[in-house]
Structure 1
Amino acid sequence: MMTDDVLTLTAPSGATAQIALQRGFNLFRLALPAGNETVEAIAAEPEFPAGGKPSHSGIPLLFPFPNRIRAGEFVTEQQSSHLLPLGDGPGEARDDGAGNAIHGFAFDRPWTLTRQDESSATAEFLMSKDDPDRAALWPGDGRLTARYELTADGLRCDLTVENLGDEPMPFGLGTHPYFALPVGSTSGDGAAADCTVTVPAAARYELIGGIPTGEILPLEDDYDLRDGPRYGSLELDDVYTQVAATPDDPGMIESVIANPANGLRIVQRCDAAFREQVVFTPPWFREGEARSATKGAICIEPYTCATDAVNLEQGGADAGWRTLEPGGRFETWFEIVVTAG
């Protein structure tokens, strides 16, 4: 069902999702049953989607690059130079406030709905059609297609990138989910600060002003998320790498947010093509702030490449930057489920 450009998906399990079609096909509400609970898994600012920033709520989809490109400048493999003008107007990339382009073109633009039924919806963002001013800034003509489906145990998203242009198209792809804390907050059990966060990454990039220097750092205690530290001890906006796949499936990565008070867990699974993970503790969702509709939130963001990967690779690093030839296609996926302990 669609009302005022908001799509509502439902499933026999009782799961519900809502997606803002005109604001980046942003899935901003996800209620999943687990045991006797219905868990609101995704955080959104109270005014979204009617107001607020699309990058501050739900699950923004980041394409043709995730996170930042230093100063909006890059050179392709074909040695063509590109400059993304920064600002809020037509033909300008979003500015992070420090003079860098941020989060690509798709997260804040209307998408085109191509198919919907009771439990699923598919939409596409074609640069030349849905944002022609920005499309002129990028080599190739990219299309990102996203299909959300409520499954028997959670949410599945299948993502496809295609190069519909006549020249090679560089790209990176990321998602930016805001997970609501504490897990199962409607029961009143537990505090956001006591929830644990587990991400199977063994290293992180050194950052200066949010931009990687290219140096990979071992994890100090304040950054190591492999053993599930408390959310209340974290203050992060970091790019993790050397992310391990699950022992029983080399093609899948799994991260977990758990509430020890009630045994409920939000589990994010994704294709191992999402080789980096950005972990961010957004200050606008900190516990105790009246502005927040939840008591806390954490972002665990699967990326196919590092922040500023296009420039890191020009410096000789393996940062995950991809190029699709004309007619080329890339497919990937992620899932979100809630389990009861």
Structure 2
Amino acid sequence: MTADVITLTAPNGATAQIAPQRGFNLYRLALPAQGQDEPVEALAAEADFPAGGKPSHSGIPLLFPFPNRIKAGEFTTDQQSEHLLPLGDGPGEAKSDGAGNAIHGFAFDRAWTVTAQDERSATATFTLSENDPERASLWPGDGRLTVAYELTGDGLRCDLTVENLGDEPLPFGLGTHPYFKLPVGPSSGENSGTAADCTVTVPAAARYELIGGVPTGEVVALDEGYDLQHGPAFGGLKLDDVYTQVSAKADEPGVIESVIENPANGLRIVQRCDAAFREQVVFTPPWFREGDAGSICIEPYTCATDAVNLAGRGVDAGWRTLAPGDRFETWFEIAVQ
């Protein structure tokens, strides 16, 4: 069951489009909002996506079996086995960040297997041994990521499941990389506002010190220009940072909520996720920053960048290992309010 593009629609006018051949990337999401004549486009995508462009530069790339970077592509598992991910663009190579590090896992740039689909929902799987056999031997263990998208009355719901299909422990980290479109709401008109004036709120109290995009292991305070807890304006942000000590909502202890708001019209993009997404990467991509428009990525991760190597040094960075036959389940939601 495969298509170049899957289109989901809901009775309230919501629409989503997914490219299963390009990482099951949900690259368009239009959600209705009170007072708006047309649904609000919540995500940014390159003009030629999904036919062209980089699958990591649009929509919601799905990052598995590791999010962000592994330093030099080298790591050692709990079983003390050493692994080296060859870097490049070949079928048996991991993607490079251009600085000699492996980046974003194996799932974001491969075709997925669509297993279920109806008008409002679609489910697909990425299995290392089946959907990426050339790179499967690079990773310790065989795993499957199942992603189920559904348009609900409140917005978009995504349920994610990781399963260990092999006979050995499966180490992994999981992340999503949504590109939120700015300004929130119509791009023109009296109350459109600008990307620069939109505010960004992420409930994180600290961040990792980075060298070359890779954490040193030290957690540092939020200096000026990094603190997103009180909704600074997007125009003053230039970020590609790993945030930690992320707080759940006081009235919903298992839920983390981040908000992007346009003060010109009061519209907000709200991303809610399971507290298992204990780190949040915030990135201001330069390729969408033009005139009054822009984009910001608020990326829920189950672990920090390079968590497998941090864990080997005794740092609690969220790296996980599944026993044979075990599974891990989590979720996130996106709404326009």
Residue equivalent to 1:249? 252
What SS is found at the alignment partner of 2:207? Answer: strand
- Cα offset for 1:187? 5.0
Residue equivalent to 1:145? 146
Task: For 2:293 and 2:57, locate their aligned partners in 1 and report how far apart those are by CA, in whole Å.
Answer: 15
User: What letter is aligned with 2:247?
Assistant: A
Number of residues of Structure 1 aligned to a counterpart in Structure 2:
333
Residue equivalent to 1:101? 102
Residue equivalent to 2:284? 281
What SS is found at the alignment partner of 2:229? Answer: coil
1:184-223 per-position Cα deviation (integer Å, ceiling 9, x unaligned): 0345310010000000000000000000000000111210
Residue equivalent to 2:330? 332
Normalised by the size of structure 2, how large is the TM-score? 0.97
Match of 1:321 among 305, 319, 322: 319
Residue equivalent to 1:207? 210
Task: For 1:49 and 1:207, locate their aligned partners in 2 and report how far apart those are by CA, in whole Å.
Answer: 32
Normalised by the size of structure 1, how large is the TM-score? 0.96
Instruction: State yes or no: 1:25 paired with 2:28.
Output: no
Task: For 1:23 and 1:135, locate their aligned partners in 2 and report how far apart those are by CA, in whole Å.
Answer: 18
What SS is found at the alignment partner of 2:21? Answer: coil
What SS is found at the alignment partner of 1:13? Answer: coil
More moved, 246-255 vs 178-187: 178-187
Task: For 1:328 and 1:103, locate their aligned partners in 2 and report how far apart those are by CA, in whole Å.
Answer: 23
1:14-58 per-position Cα deviation (integer Å, ceiling 9, x unaligned): 000000010000000000000132110000000000000000000
- Cα offset for 1:90? 1.1
> For structure 1, which runs of at least 5 residues remain unmatched after alignment?
289-293
Divergent runs of 4+, >4 A: none
- Cα offset for 1:295? 1.4
User: What letter is aligned with 2:10?
Assistant: A
Residue equivalent to 1:291? none
Does the 8 Å CA contact 1:192/1:287 hold for their aligned counterparts? no
Task: For 2:188 and 2:152, locate their aligned partners in 1 and report how far apart those are by CA, in whole Å.
Answer: 24
Task: For 1:81 and 1:310, locate their aligned partners in 2 and report how far apart those are by CA, in whole Å.
Answer: 12
1:288-321 per-position Cα deviation (integer Å, ceiling 9, x unaligned): 2xxxxx8100000000000000000111100000
Aligned 1:4-83 pairs, distance under 5 A: 5-37=4-36, 38-83=39-84
User: What letter is aligned with 2:119?
Assistant: E
> For structure 2, which runs of at least 5 residues remain unmatched after alignment?
none
Task: For 1:194 and 1:39, locate their aligned partners in 2 and report how far apart those are by CA, in whole Å.
Answer: 18
What SS is found at the alignment partner of 1:193? Answer: coil
Match of 1:307 among 305, 308, 313: 305
User: What letter is aligned with 1:261?
Assistant: A
Task: For 2:244 and 2:154, locate their aligned partners in 1 and report how far apart those are by CA, in whole Å.
Answer: 28
Aligned 1:182-201 pairs, distance under 5 A: 182-186=183-187, 188=189, 189-201=192-204
Task: For 1:127 and 1:276, locate their aligned partners in 2 and report how far apart those are by CA, in whole Å.
Answer: 24
Task: For 1:186 and 1:69, locate their aligned partners in 2 and report how far apart those are by CA, in whole Å.
Answer: 37
User: What letter is aligned with 1:125?
Assistant: F
Task: For 2:187 and 2:283, locate their aligned partners in 1 and report how far apart those are by CA, in whole Å.
Answer: 24
- Cα offset for 1:5? 1.1
Task: For 1:187 and 1:201, locate their aligned partners in 2 and report how far apart those are by CA, in whole Å.
Answer: 32
What SS is found at the alignment partner of 1:109? Answer: coil
User: What letter is aligned with 1:21?
Assistant: P
1:261-281 per-position Cα deviation (integer Å, ceiling 9, x unaligned): 000000000000000000000
How well do the aligned residues superpose, as a CA RMSD in angstroms?
1.1
